Amino acid sequence: MDKSRNVFETRFDRHLDELKWLYIELYGNDAMFAELCDTMRCFYEERNEDLKILDLEREAQPNWYKKNDMLGMMFYIDNFAGTLKGVESKLDYLEKSNVNYIHLMPFLDTVEGRSDGGYAVADFRRVQKELGTMEDLEHLTAACHEKKINVCMDFVMNHTSEDHEWAKKARQGDKEYQNRYFFFDDFTVPEIYENTVPQVFPTTAPGNFTWLPDAQKHVMTTFYPYQWDLNYRNPRVFNEMMYNFLFLANKGIDIIRIDAVPYIWKELYTSCRNLPQVHTIVRMMRMIGEIVCPAILLLGEVVMEPEKVVPYFGTVEKPECHMLYNVTTMATTWHTVATRDVRLLKQQLDIVNRLPKTYVFLNYLRCHDDIGWGLDYGTLMQEGIGERSHKQYLNDYFQGYTGASNSRGELYNADPLTGDARFCGTTASMCGIEKAVCELAVSGTDRDGTEAETIVGNGDAGCAQALERAIRLDVMLHAYMFMQSGIPVIYSGDEIGQLNDYSYKENPHKAADSRYIHRGAMDWKAAGQVDDVTTVPGKIFNQLDRVEKIRKNERVFMADADTWTIDTWDKSVLCIGRYYKGEKIIGLFNFSEYDKTAWINETDGTYTDMISGRPMQASGVNIPAYGFYYLKKENEPGGDSDETL
């Protein structure tokens, strides 16, 4: 037996009992299990040597991704750089942006007009031809690895596109393939499902089933009608999807984002969300990854309330996902922007801070999807704030309808029945940069901020001030996000304050889906100005650069640092403390447009403002409107390295 075979066998033996137990419990099919094991072996054999070395390195350092240097950026390949090759040519820009993790938004084969931003995959083994080839992908991941950049991609496992080969065969009446989906002759069973299954896209794609006139069948489509839910009761589906996962892993992918994971198991009379079998499947996926390609991380997309998210980490003995999105914190952040009241956010951060430090969250201000108002309404109710009216307030606020709002953006899937709606917009637009820039550009010609800058000199001081304030809010929100435990991920363009892109309305394939408002093409002209701090892109980029570098260089930002919140006795000021091996930092964030004082009293020594380098006391700190401080405690001479708090 050669050495590499030994490596595989050792990993395989480590997991075999549990893997087999779970598989047989779910499927009771020995032959299919044997096929899975053989195929895993084949994928291991096919994995290239560089990746196998990476596997060993990461196996030896399983906490490799829990450091303070990880910074992610997500983008659609076409929007960012045209093609996969184009992305490769932009690696320098990514490095300059301090990014060492890129999330390539869905890029597998899909059909225009029926793609849901690429989340309707027609072929898991082919890249959309406009973007390049699988070879280009391999080339890109290798180039990224040279620069120590990790590559993340989506693995859309809940459904395939109706244009997938399986779906086509199913539609033509092939029973074998119909059994890979949920097909029904009439609406009797679908109706039972509809009684308990909520809707994901109540406006753009109502209902959970689609009638196929040619096949004379109903098919389950939780998302869009052209996204057919896969039936994971069928072991063929599970096996084939695992092969697709391993195929992609072998292209050099580091992080697999499991799309819409809570939805993958369906059961009559349930909500078809977060069922126990989902956890069995994710656990098996984790083991399969650890056997074939242990360099891989699993990132679960669970856009739900915290108590539903956390189980996807699994347990210490039986881990599931390596990382999960910190979605409630994200939504609560925007609630705080709209209310200038940090109390709910503080409470939410306390919940996260109490979780085991082994959990790694992805922190973000916004992503490619809408912002759903999943807040802790139980707590808000105690203040007399009702769910429906508050959602209405937030949506009004971020559309810019209320007096104190400078935000711009659009609603998403407004449901007339429940009164529910989610929200879309870029960070900059939601922070007021769009409004300020538009008002400055009196002629209304240019949205990119450059023009606005030239106009600043000409006059409207009020607007110029509004722009400065909006930039401060934008930067403060990033600085606050970087202070949280976990890995921050920026949506490409946010680092230069890119605004909403309304051009999607002119594209018939996109017009109905307002999420495209914040998925605009990267503005390379604006990115060309990042070194000029008199421009909007330059101002934002440089201020973010400063905090990103601090984060990267200071150990207090390690994922397993102690993190806690401190009362500031001002409703609008959030205070976060971090402590790691004798080092301590206090972050102060003013969520209001007024100057404030944080009534903290950290009298354990002198502090330094890490942005200006000035010495400061961490008590009674005055903070300008939308300002922030990173205050680092000076270590006494000859001081500690491992003292306790």
Query: Where on the chain is the footprint of ligand GLC (CB under 6 A)?
Result: 116-117, 119, 156, 223, 259-260, 301, 368-369
Residue whose CB is less far from ligand GLC, 119 or 398: 119
Widest Cα–Cα separation across the chain: 80
d(CA 624, CA 618): 15
**CA nearest neighbour of 359 among 66, 581, 103:** 66
Closest to ligand GLC by CB, 140 or 367: 367
Nearer to ligand GLC, 160 or 339 (CB): 160
Residue 70: closest CA among 374, 482, 351: 482
Give the integer Cα–Cα distance in Å for 392 and 415: 12
Which C-beta is closer to ligand GLC: that of 74 or that of 621?
A: 74
Residue 451 CB, nearest approach to ligand GLC (Å): 32
Spatial strand order of the sheet with 217-220 comes to 183-184, 217-220, 209-212
What counts of helices (H) and strands (E) characterise the chain? 23, 23
Q: Say if residues 124 and 253 touch (Cβ distance below 8 Å).
A: no
Structure tokens at 592: 């209001």
Q: Among 136, 154, 162, 259, which one carries the catalytic annotation?
A: 259
Category of 148 on φ-ψ map: left (φ > 0), alpha (ψ -120 to 50) or beta: left
Nearest C-alpha neighbor of 361 from the set 530, 515, 482: 482
Q: Minimum Å distance from CB 5 to ligand GLC? A: 38
Q: How far is the CB of 226 from ligand GLC (least distance, A)?
A: 11
State yes or no: is 174 an active-site residue.
Answer: no
444: left (phi over 0), alpha (psi -120 to 50) or beta: left
For the question of residue 165 being annotated catalytic, the response is no
Nearer to ligand GLC (CB atom), residue 115 or residue 332: 115
Shortest gap between Cβ of 224 and ligand GLC (angstroms)? Answer: 8
CB of 225 to ligand GLC, least distance (A): 12
Least gap, CB of 562 to ligand GLC (angstroms)? 32
Provide the pairing of β-strand 72-75 with 487-491: parallel
CB atoms within 10 A of CB 138: 17
Half-sphere exposure of residue 258, counting CA atoms within 13 Å on the CB side? 29
Exposure string over 386-407, b if 16+ CB within 10 A, otherwise e: ebeebbebbbebbbbeeeebbb
- Least distance in angstroms from the C-beta of 442 to ligand GLC: 37
Tell me the residue type at 431.
C
- Nearest residue (CB) to ligand GLC, 98 versus 326: 326
What contacts 630, CB < 8 A, 6 or more positions away?
A: 479, 483, 547, 550, 585, 586, 587, 609, 610, 611
Half-sphere exposure of 419 (CA within 13 A, CB side): 10
* Joined tokens for residue 590: 């003013």
What is the rounded CA–CA span in Å between residue 441 and residue 438?
Answer: 5
Q: Say how far apart CA 52 and CA 207 lie, in whole Å.
A: 45
The pairing of beta strand 410-412 with beta strand 297-300: unpaired
| Active-site choice (55, 301, 453, 554) | 301
Cβ(229)–Cβ(127) under 8 Å? no
Nearer to ligand GLC, 136 or 370 (CB): 370
Closest-CB residue for ligand GLC?
119
Closer residue to ligand GLC (CB): 223 or 541: 223
What whole-number distance in Å separates Cα of residue 536 and Cα of residue 497?
7
CB of 13 to ligand GLC, least distance (A): 36
Output 117 or 374, the one with its CB closest to ligand GLC: 117
Query: Which CB sits closer to ligand GLC, 227 or 543?
Result: 227
> What is the distance, to the nearest Å, from the Cα of residue 311 to the centroid of all Cα atoms in its chain?
18
Query: CB of 105: closest distance to ligand GLC in angstroms?
Result: 9
State the nearest-atom distance from the C-beta of 117 to ligand GLC, in Å.
5
List the beta bridge partners of residue 598.
621
Half-sphere exposure of 97 (CA within 13 A, CB side): 30
Which residues carry out catalysis? 259, 301
